[in-house]
Amino acid sequence: MSKRALRLIGSRLIQVIPVLVLATFAIFSLLQLVPGDPAAVIAGETATAERIEQIRHMLGLDLPLWQQYLHWLGGAVRGDLSNSLITGLPVLDEVMRRLPNTLLIVICALLLSIAIGVPLGILAATNVDGRIDRIVTSIASLGVAVPNFWMGMILVGFFALKLGWFPTTGAVSIFQDPATALWHAALPACALALSGIAEITRQLRSSLIDVLSSQYVRTLHAKGLSQSKILWHHGLKNVSLTLLTVIGLVFNRTLGATVAIEAVFAIPGTGSLVVASATNKDFPVVQGVVFVLVLIVIFCNLLIDLLYSALDPRVNKR
Amino acid sequence: MSIVTEGAARTRTVKKRRNRFLSWLISDKRAAVSLTFLVLLASLSLLAGFIAPYSPLEQSMDILVPPSALHLLGTDDLGRDVFSRLVHGGPMTLYASFLAVCIGTLIGLPIGVLAGYIGGWVDTAVSRMIDTILSCPSIVLAIAVTGALGIGLTNSMIAVGIVFSPGLARLIRVQTMIVKGELYVDAARTFGMTTTRVIFRHILPNAIQPVIVQITLLLATALLAEASLSFLGLGVQPPQPSWGQMLARAYSYMEIAPEQMYAPGLAILFTALAFNALGESLRSLLDPTRRRSD
């Protein structure tokens, strides 16, 4: 790796630090949103005074706010996200146990979105206002308006219950049995991919149309370059940055949307964990899941940032 | 005399505006269809009590009967009329969407305007904060905030509103910065107009158009968020009906009566589609240069 690239990675990493500090503070502050006395709310209506005190002490709520934050941050840096209030087990272990199940369907969905969205976007942009374009844009409009968990229910109803081609619920670890794991992930990933496909198609179409109608493409036409050569050599090269941004956006959204999908397919992932713990007021777990997901998104954004500069040398100069 | 002409002039402007609105609807079929649908839905929601043949909470012995003349969409597992629940779920769902978007706007708009207008370190701090919040998947954040505030429709929609606010703030911030550089703002300041007056008289009216588009689009997002949260049991609490909650119910007996999941899902789909279409149409109306690529 060249020295320049290393320096670039270094400067980007330094820029991440304030975001991380703010993010951890925001996650930590979640508890401040609880109306009234958080310890009493968490303990429930029937709790004894001792139990309330115990929870207050466990969460460190008897300390001043800045001390609470530093305490939490210190733990988080050492990989200690404290323990669940209900099971008493370490939060990080539980999150890490479930994360592969979530990431498997999210990554499958993302790959599906790219594999289907990119060709559809190109197809629509090269046939602007034609019949193909109209069909593709209609599908894309539908895709962003469909509740993904409803799509999941329809897929289960048809492909799992009626035809029996796929399992209805559950997940298998990708590390133990990759083939069965993918078989289980197929329907959830399809349901999740729908909005991603729609988003990628729309954005790619829109920016490709802009590029193809620009002055220099007209010049290329005048020079006698063929339509396909212009598209593949110049059009796609110019929209690759937009595509990268959209992929990052879709990844973030898919990571969120998977929560409802996990409920439909009874997948033991981080989404179902955050729902269960929010319902049971198990705040250390909620904070832990949000923390890990934010870390993943920040890492992903960093990766996209670095890819940007690899694709477009102008970015480095800024 | 002057009163008469003033009145006549006002009637003329109103008429002109109305004509422009009508010609927009005539030229843009998509806007016309989605607006008609939304107006119908709103009136249906207002008249829910008269239209629904049964009470949405009324249970009966006819459990999971298929659609018939008596029960247009059949009954659910407690013998409640699905059509009546769907009609009563409408106002609930619309209220939830509007609540979330209102809260998002009330938080995001002032923050964005101030950051854009003041600039400097305030702007930097606000922008960093916005980037940070946006790096968390929105539904997950909404769930976490709902957990903290307490489960229920209003709290979950406050959470969704909070989650919406950074995006709106970012948009209005950029718009404010653009308008702030205009000559007429400088002129107003030179003449000694107070900052508040500059913001309300000049900045807001000129920066608001893209925000209106975004708000329309966010209504669809809010609708889908409400559906997800109610489906997950964090939003509307049973026995009250909402479309998302009806889907959760239908999911639990999907193997016996799979057809019950279609009506609430289609209701969500069409309403979200209508909000999105209206937003896109508004965007091309307000910014004609984008018409081609959208």
Residue A142 to residue B273, Cβ atoms within 8 A: yes
Within chain A, all domains assigned CATH 1.10.3720.10 are found at: 99-267
Per-residue pLDDT tens digits for A120-144: 998 888 888 888 888 888 888 888 8
How far apart CA B273 and CA B30 sit, in angstroms, is 11
Q: In chain A, which residue's Cα lies nearest the Cα of B228?
A: A260
Residue A147 to residue B269, Cβ atoms within 8 A: yes
The pLDDT of residue A220: 80
- Which of the four pLDDT bands, split at 50, 70 and 90, describes residue A112? very high
Cα-Cα-Cα-Cα torsion A268, A270, A275, A278, nearest 10 degrees, comes to 130
The pLDDT of residue B64: 67
Residue B254 to residue A153, Cβ atoms within 8 A: yes
Mutate to test the interface with A, among B121, B232, B251 (most CBs of A within 10 A): B232
Q: Is the pLDDT of residue B294 over 60?
A: no
What lies within 8 Å, CB to CB, of B226 at 6+ separation is B93, B96, B97, B100, B153, B156, B157, B160, B235, B236, B242, B244
Minimum distance, in Å, between the CA of residue B137 and any CA atom of chain A: 5
Residue A147 to residue B149, Cβ atoms within 8 A: no
**Which of the given ranges, A4-8, A203-207, A217-221, has the highest pLDDT on average?**
A203-207
Per-residue pLDDT tens digits for A46-83: 777 888 887 777 777 777 778 888 888 888 888 887 87
Q: Which helix (H) or strand (E) holds B5?
A: helix B2-27
Taking the CB of residue A145, how many other CB atoms lie within 10 A of it? 23
3-state secondary structure of B65: coil
Q: Which residue has the higher pLDDT, B116 or B73?
A: B116
End-to-end CA distance of chain A: 21
Which tokens is A11 given?
């400067």
- Which of the four pLDDT bands, split at 50, 70 and 90, describes residue B181? confident
Taking the CB of residue A304, how many other CB atoms lie within 10 A of it? 16
How far apart CA B41 and CA B86 sit, in angstroms, is 12
- Give this complex's ipTM: 0.86
Residue B269 to residue A141, Cβ atoms within 8 A: no
Once rounded to an integer, what is the mean pLDDT over residues B147-158?
Answer: 88
CATH 1.10.3720.10 assigned to domain A99-267? The reply is yes
Once rounded to an integer, what is the mean pLDDT over residues A260-286?
Answer: 88
Residue among A138, A181, A155, A178 at smallest CA distance from A267:
A181
Sort B192 into a burial class: Cβ within 10 Å, 0-12 / 13-18 / 19+.
Answer: exposed
Which tokens is B213 given?
């588009």
What phi, psi does B106 have (nearest 5°)? -60, -35
Residue B261 to residue A154, Cβ atoms within 8 A: yes
Tokens 């895709």 belong to residue: A143
- Which of the four pLDDT bands, split at 50, 70 and 90, describes residue A20? confident
The pLDDT of residue B19: 76
- Sign of the C-alpha dihedral computed for residues A199, B283, B39 and A135 taken in this order: negative
Q: Which residue has the higher pLDDT, A291 or A85?
A: A291
Residue B232 to residue A301, Cβ atoms within 8 A: no
Minimum distance, in Å, between the CA of residue B122 and any CA atom of chain A: 15
Minimum distance, in Å, between the CA of residue B212 and any CA atom of chain A: 19
Q: How far is CA A12 from CA A9, A23, A305, A307, B220, in A?
A: 5, 17, 8, 12, 35
Minimum distance, in Å, between the CA of residue A257 and any CA atom of chain B: 7
Task: Residue A263: list chain B partners with CB under 8 A.
Answer: 231-232
End-to-end CA distance of chain B: 49
Residue B233 to residue A142, Cβ atoms within 8 A: no
How many Cα neighbours within 13 Å face the side chain of A61? Answer: 21
How far apart CA A145 and CA B37 sit, in angstroms, is 15
Q: Is the pLDDT of residue B290 over 60?
A: no
* Cα–chain center distance at A128: 31
Task: Residue A31: list chain B partners with CB under 8 A.
Answer: 148
Q: Are B252 and B77 in contact (CB under 8 A)?
A: yes
Per-residue pLDDT tens digits for B120-151: 888 888 888 888 888 888 899 999 998 888 88
Q: How far is CA A281 from CA A28, A98, B98, B147, B209, in A?
A: 15, 19, 27, 6, 40
Q: Are B228 and B244 in contact (CB under 8 A)?
A: yes
The number of C-beta contacts closer than 8 angstroms across A and B is 153
Beta bridge partners of B75: B81
Q: Are A238 and A211 in contact (CB under 8 A)?
A: yes
Residue A33 to residue B224, Cβ atoms within 8 A: no
Minimum distance, in Å, between the CA of residue A39 and any CA atom of chain B: 12
The pLDDT of residue B293: 44
Tokens 């409408």 belong to residue: B90
Residue among B162, B173, B243 at smallest CA distance from B210:
B173
Tokens 């954005």 belong to residue: A203
* Cα–chain center distance at B227: 13
Residue B133 to residue A26, Cβ atoms within 8 A: yes
Which tokens is B274 given?
């209508």
Per-residue pLDDT tens digits for B78-126: 767 778 788 888 888 889 999 999 999 999 999 999 998 888 888 888 8
Which tokens is A143 given?
């895709």
Q: Which helix (H) or strand (E) holds A121?
A: helix A91-125
Task: State pTM to two decimals.
Answer: 0.85
Residue among B291, B119, B102 at smallest CA distance from B203:
B119
Taking the CB of residue B6, how many other CB atoms lie within 10 A of it? 10
Minimum distance, in Å, between the CA of residue B197 and any CA atom of chain A: 33
